[in-house]
Amino acid sequence: MSIQITGMGSYIPEIVETNKDFLKATFLNADGSPFEIENDVIIKKFKAITGIEERRYAKKHHTASDLGYFAAEKAISDARLDPETLDYIIVAHNFGDVKHGSNQSDAMPSLAARIKHSLGIKNPKCVCYDLLFGCPGWLEGVIQAQAFIRAGMAKKCLVIGAETLSRVYDENDRDSMIFSDGAGATVIEKKEGLGGILSHESATFTSEEAYYLFCGKSFNPQKDVNTKFIKMFGHKIYEFALNNVPQALKNCLDASGKSIEDVKKVFLHQANEKMDEAIIKRFYRLFKFPMPDNALPMCINKLGNSSVATIPTLLDLVQKGKLEGHQLHKGDVVLMGSVGAGMNINAITYQF
């Protein structure tokens, strides 16, 4: 028996926000003081560090659960299954449904229940719940789905990552340029044969790391201090990721029984281009093995950081031949890894 991804789908919003669209933004320091350099310099430095040129935003009338529903439809169609046969719908997010023009989270009923409703599933034994695990949420949902299947509690699960971070950033914080919207979905099933999920690894660090990502007031002192926005200590997250993610990936691969020579691709959460490049270099260094060309697919330059949606979206693009220079073939072994608020880290070794 193996537990496999049998269907994939993603939804990439149509609204493109380029770096030039931030030229007229009023960026402030954390104390409310203005920057001494011009926005074009800030944006050039931002591009050099993160790799982001563009990001995608949801249409005004769409929420995270809408994006999740669009991705879920594609994954279900790709898996060629009757949605009434799903045992679980697990939806990873961080802020629930946030309407355009507001940054208030709405997660009752759960996004999973909303998506089930939109899919028209009548079966009450299709259980729905949401998962809050920071950016690694979708990956953790896959880990939970395979656990349900191994325990005999389920045969088919739908795992979705959906987010609209464009609704919760502080427009006076230059970190606002990182965030984007999107959704990715996968169907997880038990199948005959080898491959599928070979191993997994998860960890939560809550000493000084717990609040590296948090909700805080705007950098603009004229705004309501009770209105909260997504905030982060970027340099601390960068150091944390470099010190912990490579080892988590190694632990996961070691547990799979596969060797470093078997790994064809590493799918990392699309948070920061330079950070991901540094992570994979350190990962291969742990094995004293040269990093192969083309091992790290990336889409952050055009799609930005959509949190829980980045890995399933990237996986879908590569699997369907929509990311130039990257392909997957039957038998390929890949690693998936993520890091985010919590601070949480996880990884999966998977064979197609």
pLDDT-derived band of residue 131, with 50, 70 and 90 as boundaries? very high
Could you identify the residue written with the tokens 């050099």?
48
Closest CA to 206 of 140, 134, 144, 139: 134
**CB under 8 A, 24+ apart: contacts of 279-284:** 279/241, 279/242, 279/245, 279/246, 279/249, 279/337, 280/246, 282/242, 282/246, 283/245, 283/246, 283/249, 283/250, 284/260
Give 15-50 pLDDT, tens digit per residue.
999 999 999 999 999 999 999 899 999 999 999 999
Taking the CA atoms of 45, 48, 52 and 54 in sequence, report the sign of the dihedral they define. Answer: positive
Percent over 70 (pLDDT), the chain: 100
Architecture field, domain 197-351: 3-Layer(aba) Sandwich (3.40)
Report pLDDT for 194.
86
Q: Label residue 274 by pLDDT band (50, 70, 90).
A: very high
Residue 65: C-alpha distances to residues 18, 183, 293 (Å) = 25, 9, 37
Contact 309, 320 (CB under 8 A): no
Percent of the chain residues topping a pLDDT of 90: 95
- Top-tier CATH class for 2-193: alpha beta
Do the beta carbons of residue 297 and residue 268 sit within 8 Å?
Answer: no
The pLDDT value given to residue 1: 80
Domain parsing of the chain, residue ranges: 2-193, 197-351
Does residue 349 carry a pLDDT above 90?
yes
- Per-residue pLDDT for 299 more than 90? yes
Which of 107, 89, 110, 86 has its CA nearest to residue 98?
Answer: 107
How many other C-beta atoms can be found within 10 angstroms of the C-beta atom of residue 331? 11
What integer is the mean pLDDT of 118-140?
98
**Do the domains spanning 2-193 and 197-351 agree at the CATH topology level?**
yes
The reported pLDDT for the residue numbered 60 is 96
pLDDT score for 271: 94
pLDDT in tens, 152-174: 999 999 999 999 999 999 999 99
Q: How much is the pLDDT for 282?
A: 97
DSSP state of 153: S
**Mean pLDDT computed over every residue of the chain:** 96
CB 112 within 8 A of CB 91: yes
Helices and strands per DSSP (H, E), number in the chain = 8, 13
| Overall average pLDDT of the 213-230 stretch | 94
- Please give the model's pTM, rounded to 2 decimal places: 0.95
The rounded distance, in Å, linking the Cα atoms of 268 and 245 is 10
**Span 298-326, mean pLDDT?**
96
Other residues' Cβ atoms within 10 Å of the Cβ of residue 36: 7
Average pLDDT over residues 293-320: 96
Cα distances (angstroms) measured from residue 302 to each of 19, 182, 183, 203, 326: 10, 12, 15, 30, 16
pLDDT tens readout for residues 73-128: 999 999 999 999 999 999 999 999 999 988 889 999 999 999 999 999 999 999 99
